[in-house]
C-alpha cells in the first residue's frame, strides 16, 4: 500500500491503536505509526486528537509490527495472570486482594489489574475484549514469527489456548476466561 501510494505522490501510514473503546472515548489511545517522517508530521495533528500516546515506530509496516508486539504481550500476560489466579484460587488467596498486592509488586501488570475483577466475578461473557480478537492476533503473530524465523514458544502456546477456547464456542468470552482452560487441564 505504501509503495502504491508513493507511486502516485500520496502518503501512506499504518497506524494501529491500543486502548479499546474506553481509550477511544477518552482520546487516550496509544497509536503506533509506521511510515515516513513527512507523512507522520502531516497526520500527527489528527492522531493527537485521538490518542495521548502517539509514536512513529519506523518505516511503513513498523506500526503494525508494534501492534503485534503489544498483542503478543497482552496474550502472554493474560495467560500468566490466569495461571496466577488459578493458583490463588487453589491456595485460598482472594484474587482481588492478590491483585492489590501485585499492583505494587514486580509481578503486577496491566493485564493482572484488568483481569482480576473480571476473573473474581467470573464475568466472562459478552466482553469488549473477546477471545476472537486476541485469537486472530495471536495467529498473525505466530505466522509473522515463522516468517521471521523466530521461535516464540510462549506465543505459540498462548495461541493454542485461545484457539481451544474458540473451538469450545467461547468466541465472545473475555480473554481472562482462559482461566477456564487452565482449570479444565488441572486436577
Catalytic positions: 67
- Interior CA angle at 159 toward 158 and 165, to 5°? 95
Grid coordinates in use for 135? 485469537
Distance CA 56, CA 100 (A): 34
Counting Cα atoms < 13 Å in the Cβ hemisphere of 61 gives 4
When computed from its CA atoms, the radius of gyration of the chain, rounded to whole angstroms, is 19
Cβ distance 83 to 182 under 8 Å? yes
Amino acid at each position: 500500500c505504501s509503495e502504491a501510494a508513493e507511486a502516485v505522490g500520496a502518503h501512506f501510514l499504518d497506524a494501529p491503536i491500543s486502548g479499546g473503546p474506553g481509550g477511544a472515548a477518552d482520546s487516550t489511545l496509544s497509536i503506533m505509526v509506521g511510515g515516513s517522517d513527512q507523512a507522520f508530521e502531516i497526520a500527527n495533528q489528527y492522531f493527537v486528537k485521538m490518542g495521548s500516546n502517539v509514536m512513529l515506530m519506523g518505516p511503513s509496516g513498523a506500526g503494525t509490527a508494534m501492534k503485534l508486539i503489544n498483542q503478543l504481550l497482552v496474550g502472554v500476560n493474560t495467560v500468566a495472570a490466569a495461571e496466577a489466579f488459578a493458583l490463588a484460587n487453589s491456595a485460598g488467596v482472594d484474587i482481588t486482594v492478590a491483585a492489590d498486592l501485585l499492583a505494587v509488586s514486580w509481578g503486577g501488570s496491566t493485564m493482572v489489574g484488568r483481569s482480576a475483577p473480571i476473573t473474581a466475578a467470573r464475568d466472562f461473557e459478552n466482553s469488549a475484549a473477546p477471545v476472537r480478537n486476541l485469537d486472530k492476533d495471536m495467529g498473525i503473530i505466530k505466522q509473522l514469527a515463522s516468517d521471521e524465523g523466530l521461535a516464540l514458544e510462549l506465543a505459540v502456546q498462548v495461541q493454542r489456548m485461545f484457539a481451544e477456547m474458540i473451538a469450545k464456542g467461547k468466541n465472545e468470552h473475555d480473554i481472562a476466561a482462559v482461566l477456564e482452560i487452565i482449570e479444565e487441564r488441572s486436577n
